Amino acid sequence: MSEPLPASERTDRAGLSALADPAEGDALAGRADLAARAARLDAADELGTLRERFALPEGIVYLDGNSLGALPVGVARRLAEVVTQEWGTSLIRSWSEGTWWTAPERIGDKLAPLIGAAAGQTVVGDSTSVNLFKALVGAARLAGPGRTRMLVDAATFPTDGYIAESAARLTGLTVTPVDPGEAAAAMGPDTAVVLLNHADYRTGRLHDLPGLTRAAHAAGAIAVWDLCHSAGALPVGLDAHAVDLAVGCTYKYLNGGPGAPAYLYVAERHQQAFDSPLPGWNGHADPFAMTPHYTPAAGATRGRVGTPDILSMLALESALDAWDGVSIEAVRAKSLALTDFFLECVAAYVPAGAVEPVTPADHAHRASQVSLRTDNAREVMAELISRGVVGDFRAPDVLRFGFTPLYVGFADAERAARTLGHIFG
């Protein structure tokens, strides 16, 4: 077996080969241009300095913010303050003398602009699953008698389906799975509730929130939206599009941290009639009266249940500071530019046929991730991660890359695609 060539000689021979083969030379030049373009795009990026607001490890390309967002720099300091001073020194006085008791509504109002909601309609607390249960049962009660069906996104995240089945049993409805693209045609006078995901968690497909909400209302149904894979990545417009109820997590594009509390949006026009199936003492009109009978609080506050999870909630409040001065429209523009550029780099670096994009190419139907189908996807992702490019895998054959414009740049996209190409090369 011959000795391997020195790196310098390998480079020289590659260059000579490229000169001998014009097509290969063009390909190499095109790849070099991608890296140069990435540098120019990053230099011109109006959101580029926002990366400094996050504590990201050196040398890592982090493309899994659609599962867990990066750590904003102020969170650790704020949590230390909460633990050592507000809990450690002030003890129980922090409920009444500090900011703890009002946190669910206060943080809901802080988050509201990112989902296109006016103040007073969003309450933070519990998990997405718990909030979805409240929303679905509450929606069925708002829809009233005489309706028998709950339409549910057939490709929904599994927990949404589980919760929908339980909520349907409780309210006497029947769950009908439906492709979101065919949901409008499936709605009718028997439809009580329509539950859809704004963005498909597996493919990154963005669904038509305005149009499907209008269709639900035309059928007399209540529209419930799951925003887990869209909030913080693109404009949602809950108020503008007259959405009835919505839920979402805060640990993905909103960077609230692992297990961060979720949120429940109840449109102002529904608040007085919204009947939560979980009437906890925190949602009582007079929680410290400790009366045996439940009287719901006014507004979205009736969506509260038990004692707020203060440590994770105040971590979320600090994390949302990373959005100061940031336009969600600018975030969307960068998201589309990043995902376009990544797809271009994948086409240039990865051998033809090795991967198949399953995320829609058109901007109207693309959220902020790119999903690629390939054989041995689990092993490919493990190899990417070992090389410093962190995405994730979804069974059976999907590589997912989430692009969080607050801290992901064009050089990150180019490196990720180039590394993927090396794995298949």
Determine what percent of the chain is predicted with pLDDT higher than 70.
93
Please give the mean pLDDT across all residues of the chain: 93
Q: Does position 44 have pLDDT exceeding 50, yes or no?
A: yes
400, 403, 407, 418: the active-site residue: 400
133 is known as an active-site residue: no
pLDDT at 425: 86
pLDDT tens-digit series, residues 86-110: 999 999 999 999 999 999 999 999 9
Q: Does position 8 have pLDDT exceeding 60, yes or no?
A: no
pLDDT at 31: 80
pLDDT tens-digit series, residues 355-392: 999 999 999 999 999 999 999 999 999 999 999 999 99
157 is known as an active-site residue: yes
pLDDT tens-digit series, residues 251-290: 999 999 999 999 999 999 999 999 999 999 999 999 999 9
pLDDT band at 228 (very low <50, low <70, confident <90, very high): very high
As a whole number, mean pLDDT of residues 64-80 equals 98
Q: Does position 399 have pLDDT exceeding 50, yes or no?
A: yes
pLDDT band at 12 (very low <50, low <70, confident <90, very high): very low
Q: Does position 68 have pLDDT exceeding 70, yes or no?
A: yes
Q: Does position 5 have pLDDT exceeding 50, yes or no?
A: no
141, 252, 304, 415: the active-site residue: 252
Q: Does position 292 have pLDDT exceeding 60, yes or no?
A: yes
pLDDT at 29: 63
As a whole number, mean pLDDT of residues 13-19 equals 32
The three-state DSSP-derived secondary structure of the chain is CCCCCCHHHHHHHHHHHHHHCHHHHHHHHHHHHHHHHHHHHHHHCCCHHHHHHECCCCCCEECECCCCCCCECCHHHHHHHHHHHHHCCCCCHHHHCCCCCCHHHHHHHHHHHHHCCCCCCEEECCCHHHHHHHHHHHHHHHHCCCCCEEEEECCCCHHHHHHHHHHHHHHCCEEEEECHHHHHHHCCCCEEEEEEECECCCCCEECCHHHHHHHHHHCCCEEEEECCCCCCCCCCCCCCCCCCEEEECCCCCCCCCCCCCCEEEECHHHCCCCCCCCCCHHHECCHHHCCCCCCECCHHHHHCCCCCCHHHHHHHHHHHHHHCCCCHHHHHHHHHHHHHHHHHHHHHHCCCCCCEECCCCCHHHECCEEEEECCCHHHHHHHHHHCCEECEEECCCEEEEECCCCCCCHHHHHHHHHHHHHHHC
pLDDT at 32: 80
pLDDT at 28: 62
Partners of 239 in the β-ladder:
none
45, 64, 153, 226: the active-site residue: 226
As a whole number, mean pLDDT of residues 285-314 equals 97
201, 251, 342, 401: the active-site residue: 251
Q: Does position 2 have pLDDT exceeding 60, yes or no?
A: no
pLDDT band at 19 (very low <50, low <70, confident <90, very high): very low
54, 157, 253, 342: the active-site residue: 157
226 is known as an active-site residue: yes
Q: Does position 25 have pLDDT exceeding 60, yes or no?
A: no
Please tell me which residue, 335 or 2, carries the higher pLDDT value: 335
HSE of 18 in the Cβ direction (CA atoms, 13 Å)? 14
As a whole number, mean pLDDT of residues 235-264 equals 98
Walk me through the domains of the chain, giving residue ranges and CATH numbers. Answer: 20-53+327-424 (3.90.1150.10), 75-323 (3.40.640.10)
Determine what percent of the chain is predicted with pLDDT higher than 90.
92
pLDDT tens-digit series, residues 176-196: 999 999 999 999 999 999 999
As a whole number, mean pLDDT of residues 146-165 equals 97
pLDDT at 21: 44
pTM: predicted TM-score of the whole model, two decimal places: 0.92
62 is known as an active-site residue: no
pLDDT at 373: 98
